[in-house]
Amino acid sequence: MKIYDISQEIFHSKVFPGDPIPKKDAVLSLEQGDPCNLTHLELGSHTGSHMDAPSHFLAGAKTIDTIDLEKCVGLCRVITMEGTVDASDIRFALSDGIKRLLIRGEITISQEAAQEMTSVPIDLIGVEGLTVGPLESPRDVHVALLEKEIVILEGLVLSKVPDGLYWLVAQPLKLGGIDGSPVRPLLLEYER
């Protein structure tokens, strides 16, 4: 069975404008005579390949530690698109009832496409970009999806994954009360 790691390496990942740059500092070092290696990490909750919790844009909403993990594991479709994704693109991609969709390519999900996802409904949407919505104003698309508790994965690396069906495994870290989490998502070849 082939496994695709579709995550970014944290310390070389792009960050959303204004987000913290990830850093690592040695606390203990074998090379310095310490009994082990131990590293202090500093990063934003939306660093690298990551998952958004509803509380990222909605006051009082679910935090990352309360995400329904069943939405993060299961059959998914990978498709390639470019430009603006509209409602008809979503209807076509989800026409067979698939609940998890990963989109490869430089795309922006339109407000109409987000509304279509909420009416289908789906469990999870994933993109390669830093945000599912327009870079200059991502709020409205996020709110539409997160109000319906649709899981959002951003910052994926899908360049080596052919279009098709896969088994997705993408759990966030259990960070209590936080608005998002880095994720190391995997795609496993799907055998019918």
User: For 103-135, how does the pLDDT look when each residue is reduced to its tens digit (9 = 90+)?
Assistant: 999 999 999 999 999 998 899 999 999 999 888
Please report the pLDDT score of residue 3 as a whole number: 97
Quote the pLDDT of residue 36: 98
Alpha helix (H) ranges present in the chain?
87-93, 111-119, 139-147
pTM for this entry: 0.95
Closest CA to 155 of 17, 44, 16: 16
Angstrom distances, CA of residue 65 to CA of 56, 113, 168, 176: 13, 27, 19, 5
pLDDT above 90 (res 136)? no
Q: Would you state the pLDDT for residue 58?
A: 95
pLDDT band at 190, cuts 50/70/90?
confident
Active-site entry in 46, 50, 56, 142: 56
Q: What is the pLDDT of residue 121?
A: 86
For 149-161, write each residue's pLDDT tens digit. Answer: 999 999 999 999 9
40 catalytic per annotation = no
Looking at residue 167, what is its pLDDT? Answer: 97
Can you give the pLDDT at residue 7?
Answer: 98
pLDDT of residue 83: 96
Whether residue 192 has pLDDT greater than 80: no
The pLDDT of residue 185 is 98
* pLDDT > 90? residue 71: yes
**What are the tens digits of pLDDT across the range 137-184?**
889 999 999 999 999 999 999 999 999 999 999 999 999 999 999 999
**Please, is 112 exposed, middle or buried when counting C-beta atoms within 10 Å of its C-beta (0-12, 13-18, 19+)?**
middle
What is the pLDDT, as a whole number, of residue 116? 96
Model confidence band, residue 72 (pLDDT cutoffs 50, 70, 90): very high
For the chain, what percent of residues have pLDDT higher than 90? 92
Q: Mean pLDDT of all residues in the chain?
A: 96
